[in-house]
Structure 1
Amino acid sequence: MHHRARTFLFFILICIFCIGTPLVVLFSQGYRFDIKQKKIVQTGALHIKTKPSSAAIAINGKQKRIRSSRFLYSGTVFRNLVPGNYNITISSSSSLPWEKNISIEPSLVTKSTHVALPLSPPPTKTLFTSTSTFRYIASTNDEAFLVSSDKKSLFSQSLNDTSQKQIFPIPTATTTLEKSEIILSAFPSASTHNTLVNTNKKSYVISNGETISLEKPLQTIANQNKAPVSRLLWHPFDDAILFGFTSSANYWIHLPDMTIGTFLKEKIIGWSSAGSRAYFLSAQGTLYEFSTQLQPTSTPLTTIDPTLFSRFPLAIHALGDNRFVIHEPSGILLLIDIPSLHSELVDTAVKHLVISSDASRMAYLTNDNQLSAYSLEPTVDDSIYSQYEKIRLADIPENANPLAIYFANDNWYLVLPTEWGAFITEIDKRLPLNLWVISFEKKIVPVAFRSQDAALIWQMDSTFSASRLLP
C-alpha cells in the first residue's frame, strides 16, 4: 500500500477510535439517544417481581416477556429505559390484571416488587360440612371456635383440614351447663393451649383436657370489692394468669392454686400487650405498664386526656418501644409515641383498623368507607414512606359494608371481606391504585383470614370453606 494511503487509513482509524470509544463508554453506562428529545440521555431501569412469576408484562402496551416460573425467582429487570413515564400492565390466566404508571429516572432502578395478581375465581376448598348448625365466635391462626345452634356446646374447628372436636363441655367430663345457661364467648390464651369460656352465668377455663370453674375466685373478688368482675383477660404470655376487671379495682388470678391479688385500684378502660409486657389505661387517663411478676407492680408511662373518649372499652395496640395506637369504639384513632414525644389524632371516624405484623404500618376504614394506610415507621421499598405519613388509598362503595381488614402479601396488600366476597387493594402511592373485587355467587359469613396462604375462611349454612385470594 502506498505511503499516502497508509497515512490516510491511519488517521481514519484514529478518528474512529476517538469518536467510537466515548460512544462505547456512554453506551455501557446506559446512555442512549432519545428520538423525542433528539439528544443523548442516561437511561434507567425497572425491576418487577410478580406472583405468579409466569405473568406477562407489557410496557406501554408492548409485551416484554412471558416466562415460566422457576426456583428462587427474584424478578425481572428491564434496562436501558429512556427517562419518562411508562404504563405497566401485568396479566396472567385465572388472575385479575395489575396496572401502574411508573416514572423512570436517569441512572436509577425503579422497583415494583410486590405485584400479586388476585386469583379469579379463587380456588375454594371445603373444610367441613355438618348436619348441625354452628355459629362462629372467635379464631386463631389455625383454628376457629364454633358454638352450636342451641349455644350449649363449643367446638374447635381446624382451619387447615377437616378435623373438629368438642372442647366444652368436655364429653368425658362431669361438667354440664345449667338448663338456662348458654355460651356467649370464647378466648384462647396467648399460647392457644388454654381457652376462656364465658356463659351468661359463669366462666370456665379449658386446660389440658380439663374444665376449671372460676366461680369461687370470681365470687371472692365480688365479695371483697362489692362489685362483680366485668371482664376477664388473659396474661400476655403466662397461661396460668387471668386479669379480672371491676368498676373500681382490678385483680389477677393464678389458676394453678387460685391465688388472688390486686394490681391497680382504678377503673380500666383499655388494655394491650406486647411480648412479655401488659399495658392498662385507667379512666383518669394514665397508661400503666404491668410487670410480669406474680406480685405485680404498675408503672405509669404517660397521661392521655380522658375527655377524648366517650365509649369503652378502648382497643389499645402496643407497637413496642412504648409506642401505642388507641382506637375508641366511636371512631377516634390516636397515636402515642412516648420516646419521640409525638402524639397525633389520626382520625375521628374509624370503624375498622389493622396493624401489620411488623408494626411498620396500619390501615383503617372510616365510617364513610374511605380506606387509608398510615406509616408507623420510615420505610424505603418500592416507594419511600416517611414516618407518620398518611396515604389515602381508595373509596370503598357505600353498599359494600366490609366487615374487617387484613394484611396480606408481606403487608403490602389489604383484604376487606364482605358478605358477598372481598375487596383487595395494594399499599402504593403511585397511580392508578389497583382495587380488585372478588365476588361469590351467594351470601357468605366471613370467619377469618389465613395469612400464610392468603385464604379467606367463610361459612355458608353448615359448610365452612377456604378460598385462596392471592397466589
Structure 2
Amino acid sequence: MSPKRRFVLFIILTGLFFIVTPGIILFSQGYLFDWQKFRLVQAGGIFVKTLPEEVSLAVKPESGTKEKKLASKKSLLGPAGTLIKSLLPQKYLVTVTPLDNQNISWQKELEVSPLTVTKASRIIFPKTNPEISAIAMTSSSINLVSLPEKNKKTVLYATEDNKIFSFENSTSSLIFDLKSLTGFPKAEKITELSLSSSGKNFIAFSKTSGVIHVKDKGTFLIASFFRIFLKNEKTSLSQTRLVWHPENDNVLFALNQKGGYFFDLNTQEYSKFTEKNILGLTNNYFLDSSGEINNFDYTDKTAEKKIFETGLKSGRYQISLIKDTDFLLKNESGELFLIFKNELKKISGNVSFFLLSFDGSRFVYGTESGEIFVYFLKDVFDDLAYKENEILELGRVENLKTGYLANHNWHLIAVSNSALAVFEIDKRLPINQYEIQLGPISKIIEFAEPEIRWLDQNQNLKSAKIFP
C-alpha cells in the first residue's frame, strides 16, 4: 500500500474513531438518540416479574413507533423477571400473556423516565379454569352450615332432622342428635349455629329454644344451662346476646342492657365485668351505648379504661382492632367507621363487608351495590408509592358476597354467587381483573392460598387451586 493510501486510510479510521467512540460512550452511559425529537436523551427501562414465569411480552410506545416483542427467560433459581432496557422516556402499553393460557393477559400503561426502571413485579395469572374436586359431606339433607373462625379445616353442619355433625379430614362425625334431648321442641329446626373460636364448643338456636354444647361436658338446653344467671340477674335470653371470646373456646360473653358478663364453661360459673351496655366487642375492647370505646380485662373489673369517645350510641357493631387505639367499626346498617390517630371518620354508608390486611397496612371494603375499594392506612412503597389515607377503587362485582386478600395483599379475590373475580391492587391503569367460574356458591369455607374451599347449592364441599 502506497504512503498516500495509508494516509487516507488513517484519516478515515481516525474520523470514524472520533465519530463512533462518543456514541459508544454515550450509549454506555444510558443515552439514546430520539429521532422524532432529534435530540439525545437518557434512556430508562421496564422490569416485569410474573407467575407463571413463562410469558410473552409486547411493549408498544406511546409515540407510535414499532412495538417491541420478546419472551421471558426461565431461571433455575425461581422467578427472576425480565428487564426491558434502552427505552426512550415516554409512556408504553405493556401486554403480558402467559404461554400456558393465551385467553388471558395483563395490560398496563407504564411510564418510563430517564435513568429509571419502572417495575411491575406483582403480575400473577390465576387459573381461570381450575380443576375442581368435590366431596359429599353427608347423604342427609343439610339445613345449616357453619365453621369456626380459628379452625377452617373443620365444618359443622345441621341436618333437616336436627342432627349436628362435624366434618374434618373427609369424614363426618355425629356430635349430637337433638331428638334425644328432653325439652327441645321436636317440631323446630335449627336456624343458627354459633361456634367458639376453634369449633370445640357451640350454640345451636331454633325459633324458640336452643342448646349449648361443651366438649367433654355434654349438650344442654340453653335455658337450663343459664338458669342461675337468668334468675339472679332478673333477665331473659331474648334480652341477652351471647358472644364467644375470639381466642378462648371456654369463655362466653353475655351482653344486655344491664352490662357485660362472662361465663367460664369449664366451671359453669359467671361474673359481671362491666355495668355498661355493650354495642360491640373484640379482643380486649368494647363499644358501649354512651359511645365510648373501653379497654377491659374480663377477669378484672377494675381494669376497665376509656380509650376514645366515638359518638356512636346505638345499634350493634362489628369491631376490628387495627393496632393500639385504631379501629374499624361496622354497624348493622352498613355504616363503616375508621378510628385512626384519635380521629373518627365515616368511610361509607352501605358496606357489605370489610377485611383488614394481616400487616395492618390497608383494608378492603365492598358496598351493597358491588363496588370494591382499598384504603391505605400508612405509606406503602412497592412497585410505586401509595400514601396514607389513599383510596383506590378496584371495580364492581354483581352479587358481591365477600372478599379475601392474596399474594402479600396485592390481589383481591371477590366472591359472588357463582364466580370469583381476581383484582390486582395497582393504581396504574387499566386495573386488571380475571374471572373464575366455579358454579353456584352457597358458602365460602376457607381461602388458604393458593386454594379455595366452598359449599355448592347441594352442600357438597368443593375445592380448587386458583393460583399457580
| Deviations 1:326-372 (CA, angstroms, capped at 9, x unpaired) | 112212111102xx233221111212222222221112222332221
* Partners of 1:417 and 1:66 in 2: CA distance: 32
* Partners of 1:293 and 1:18 in 2: CA distance: 85
Aligned to 1:360: 361
Q: Which amino acid aligns with 1:112?
A: A
**Deviation of the 1:182 alpha carbon:** 4.2
- Asked whether the equivalents of residues 441 and 454 of structure 2 are also in contact (C-alpha less than 8 Å), the reply is no
- Asked whether the equivalents of residues 335 and 349 of structure 2 are also in contact (C-alpha less than 8 Å), the reply is yes
Aligned to 1:81: 87
Q: Which amino acid aligns with 1:469?
A: I
Aligned to 1:237: 247
Aligned pairs for 1:141-220 within 5 A = 141-150=152-161, 152-158=162-168, 162-169=170-177, 178-180=184-186, 182-190=189-197, 192=198, 194-200=200-206, 201-207=209-215, 209-211=216-218, 213=220, 215=223, 218-220=226-228
Going from structure 1 to structure 2, the CA distance change for 1:139 and 1:101 (only over 3 Å counts) comes to: farther
The answer to whether 1:251 aligns with 2:252 is no
Q: Which one of the candidate residues 433, 443, 452 is aligned to 1:446? A: 443
How high is the TM-score relative to the length of structure 2?
A: 0.86
Identity of aligned residues (%): 24
Aligned to 2:29: 29
Going from structure 1 to structure 2, the CA distance change for 1:54 and 1:253 (only over 3 Å counts) comes to: same
More deviation in 72-81 or 402-411? Answer: 72-81
- Asked whether the equivalents of residues 310 and 344 of structure 2 are also in contact (C-alpha less than 8 Å), the reply is no
More deviation in 1-10 or 120-129? Answer: 1-10
* Partners of 1:25 and 1:322 in 2: CA distance: 57
Structure 2 spans left out of the alignment, 5+ residues: 61-66
More deviation in 231-240 or 3-12? Answer: 3-12
Q: Which amino acid aligns with 2:253?
A: F
The answer to whether 1:263 aligns with 2:278 is no
Aligned to 2:323: 320
Aligned pairs for 1:94-105 within 5 A = 94=101, 96-105=104-113
- Asked whether the equivalents of residues 447 and 459 of structure 1 are also in contact (C-alpha less than 8 Å), the reply is no
- Asked whether the equivalents of residues 329 and 351 of structure 1 are also in contact (C-alpha less than 8 Å), the reply is no
Say how many residue pairs are matched. 451
- Asked whether the equivalents of residues 251 and 261 of structure 1 are also in contact (C-alpha less than 8 Å), the reply is yes
* Partners of 2:309 and 2:346 in 1: CA distance: 15
| Deviations 1:145-192 (CA, angstroms, capped at 9, x unpaired) | 222123x2222234xx52332334599xx86773436434334434x1
CA RMSD of aligned residues (A): 3.1
The answer to whether 1:224 aligns with 2:232 is yes
Q: Which amino acid aligns with 1:81?
A: L
| Deviations 1:410-464 (CA, angstroms, capped at 9, x unpaired) | 2221222222222221211111112222234x53323234132142423131422
Going from structure 1 to structure 2, the CA distance change for 1:85 and 1:222 (only over 3 Å counts) comes to: same
The answer to whether 1:369 aligns with 2:378 is no
The answer to whether 1:300 aligns with 2:297 is no
The answer to whether 1:116 aligns with 2:124 is yes
Going from structure 1 to structure 2, the CA distance change for 1:429 and 1:294 (only over 3 Å counts) comes to: same
Q: Which amino acid aligns with 1:98?
A: W
**Deviation of the 1:302 alpha carbon:** 0.5
Going from structure 1 to structure 2, the CA distance change for 1:29 and 1:328 (only over 3 Å counts) comes to: farther
Going from structure 1 to structure 2, the CA distance change for 1:147 and 1:90 (only over 3 Å counts) comes to: farther
Q: Which amino acid aligns with 1:77?
A: L
Going from structure 1 to structure 2, the CA distance change for 1:74 and 1:157 (only over 3 Å counts) comes to: farther
The answer to whether 1:136 aligns with 2:145 is yes
Going from structure 1 to structure 2, the CA distance change for 1:233 and 1:462 (only over 3 Å counts) comes to: closer
**Deviation of the 1:16 alpha carbon:** 6.4
* Partners of 2:457 and 2:363 in 1: CA distance: 30
Q: Which amino acid aligns with 2:454?
A: I
Aligned to 1:379: 380
Q: Which one of the candidate residues 454, 457, 467 is aligned to 2:454? A: 457
Aligned pairs for 1:384-423 within 5 A = 384-396=385-397, 400-423=398-421
